[in-house]
Amino acid sequence: MTALSPNVPTRNLIGGAWIGAASGKTFPVLNPATDQPLCEVPDMAEADGLAAVEAAYTAGQQWADTAPRVRGEVLRKTYELMIERREEIALLITQEMGKALADSRAEVNYAAEFFRWFSEEAVRIGGEVRRAPAGDKWIMTNRVPVGVCYFITPWNFPAAMATRKIGPAVAAGCTVVVKPAAETPLTTLYIAKLMEEAGLPAGVVNVITTHSASAVSSAILADERVQKLSFTGSTFVGKKLLHQTAERVLRVSMELGGNDPFIVCSDADVDAAVEGAMLAKMRNGGQACTAANRFYVHTDVYDEFVAKFSARMSGLSVGPGYEDGIQVGPVVSHKQRDEIAGLVDSALASGAKRIVGDPAAMPSVGSFYPPTVLTDVPADSVIARTEIFGPVAPVIRVQTDDEALTLANTTEFGLIGYIYTRDLAKGLRLSRRMQTGMVGLNRGLLSDPAAPFGGVKESGLGREGGFEGIDEFLETQYVATDW
């Protein structure tokens, strides 16, 4: 399971051609379970990035003029190909990113659904004609594609973070350049190959891989043919890009970091809360922006929740994600593992207790970190203020539901909040006061291509998926006519 399928493209797609960097330079893609290289991919420089922009720009007008039905059908066909090749794509995700195969299969389904959803949205792009208040004129509005888009995606969902942007953009009539994370470029290349197979014209989707994300992205964003940036990644990098894009008044969508609270109220169904906690914490081995980062548990149910949750966490099997029966793979890199370990050490130093998780029991090869439960975590500790991005659950005891909500909102982030209570009216009241773009009310998993995904505060700008997702790629144009 450590060798790549020969179907995986390892060159870049620019203007319909599969090519390498002009310099001939490459960099390795590593398997985080073995630390061994899977293959080499092109290390594109600024000029290569601009060639991709040129290809997208050249294809732009024709794609914008292509019938929405035709655009939708390419997406629909790619959706079908992704489902047909689910096993191959899932294995590829596990090989380059590490997550367990079950998580990768779920990601392929989720990622493909964005293409199905936006194939349906492509034919529903509206416009409006209304009468002006003065009564003697009419106001007509068109929805037009924004033009060439640049996408930067992270390593944690290499398929879904790409399709969640490519789907609506292609449906809207935009052409795109995608730069996947250097850790996980292969899945995006594979999806681009399927789009080609589904009949996507040359230049509509271009994929470049690089180790020089900052330099290549700066060159692309400075190019006046580019009209939009959609970024998913850390708030730190997102802020840098916001400064850069302000120079050109670019349209931006930002899906950034989270510090997602998980509240267990005094009246919660504890078994349901534990089930939800496992999903919210352990999907993707905890490497999700949606991952529950801090558990605020009411003192009335604290002991029961901790006992049941710890039993589940300590029962998880850790190992290479593609091996049978493995539930938690390695984290994506040694750097990521060391950051998680540092956060846990600082929590222990501030008085937390580790009741599940022994890093010394992990394999010596690969970047493994064990599922970990920390109790007695001080509410103001570094771990409670930082996105962990790993399989670590800090549990904090609270005396009231209001205290939980206040602590939940004490953060610059605002992506998701989880609430468990048997009292639906209370749950809805707390949801309204939760300062997040999304709330999981008695649900530990809420991502759905048909729902608007996104954050408030420093977790982002704009929404992906849902009816809102395609709006990010359309401009409203007002045409005044003398009828």
289 is known as an active-site residue: yes
Residue selected from 257, 286, 320, 449 as contacting ligand NAD according to rule CB under 6 A:
257
Does 181 participate in binding ligand NAD (rule CB under 6 A)?
yes
209-248 residues near ligand NAD, rule: CB under 6 A: 213-214, 217, 232-234, 237, 240
Q: Which residues have C-beta within 8 Å of that of residue 21, sequence separation ≥ 6? A: 12, 42, 43, 44, 45, 48
Q: How near is the Cβ of 111 to ligand NAD at its closest, in Å?
A: 13
Is the sign of the CA dihedral 77, 79, 83, 85 positive or negative?
Answer: positive
Q: How near is the Cβ of 461 to ligand NAD at its closest, in Å?
A: 10
| 266: helix, strand or coil | coil
Tell me which residue of 371, 332, 331, 379 sits closest to 352, measured CA to CA. 379
Q: Distance (Å, rounded) from C-alpha 175 to C-alpha 48?
A: 17
Name the β-bridge partners of 177. 150, 206
Does 255 participate in binding ligand NAD (rule CB under 6 A)?
yes
Tell me which residue of 415, 432, 461 sits closest to 288, measured CA to CA. 415
Q: Distance (Å, rounded) from C-alpha 91 to C-alpha 88?
A: 5
Window contacting ligand NAD (CB under 6 A); options: 141-149, 154-162, 169-177, 441-449:
154-162
Q: Which of 39, 149, 265, 289 is catalytic?
A: 289
Does 184 participate in binding ligand NAD (rule CB under 6 A)?
no
Q: Output 62 or 214, the one with its CB closest to ligand NAD.
A: 214
H or E segment and range at residue 129 = strand 128-131
Q: How big, in percent rounded to 5, are the helix, strand and coil portions of the chain?
A: 40, 20, 35
Q: Distance (Å, rounded) from C-alpha 110 to C-alpha 226?
A: 28
Q: Which of 255, 387, 458, 472 is catalytic?
A: 255
Give the CA diameter of the chain.
78
Q: How near is the Cβ of 289 to ligand NAD at its closest, in Å?
A: 3
Q: Output 71 or 165, the one with its CB closest to ligand NAD.
A: 165
CB neighbourhood size of 83 (10 A): 15
| 32: helix, strand or coil | coil
255 is known as an active-site residue: yes
Residue selected from 103, 387, 401, 472 as contacting ligand NAD according to rule CB under 6 A:
387
424-483 residues near ligand NAD, rule: CB under 6 A: 455, 460
Q: Output 289 or 318, the one with its CB closest to ligand NAD.
A: 289
Residue selected from 273, 415, 419, 474 as contacting ligand NAD according to rule CB under 6 A:
415
Question: Footprint of ligand NAD on this chain (CB under 6 A)?
Answer: 152-156, 161, 179, 181-182, 213-214, 217, 232-234, 237, 240, 255-258, 289, 387, 389, 415, 455, 460
Q: Which residues are catalytic?
A: 255, 289
